[in-house]
Amino acid sequence: MILGLVGWIVVGIIIGFIASKIVNLRGDDPRLSISVAAVGAIAAAALYSIIAGASVTAWNPWSILFAAIGGVVCVVTWHAVRSRYISRERYVPRRSY
């Protein structure tokens, strides 16, 4: 059971790292993308385990696949929501008075 959870978290971290490099939002912390993907991966794989009736086992390929899909969906959703609130203007540091 523990190895299955660790596998889901690792898949979420890898997906989050890749997504943070592909979708580059100015001013967004890449650690946030990685954590959002890890949470999405855990949620999707747990949902798969509940729906399929499969127990959490070490390296179940289907649950790992659903973890990857859940991580991607959460990161894409996060970046879509976040991109509406991030300024696209060039950042100019404030000068002292």
Encode pLDDT of 9-62 as tens digits.
888 788 778 777 776 666 667 788 888 888 888 888 888 888 888 776 767 788
pLDDT of the residue at 90: 66
- DSSP helix/strand/coil, 42: helix
Q: With contact defined as beta carbons under 8 Å apart, do 77 and 37 qualify? A: no
pLDDT of the residue at 22: 74
Q: Alpha-carbon distance 57 to 81, whole Å?
A: 34
pLDDT of the residue at 26: 62
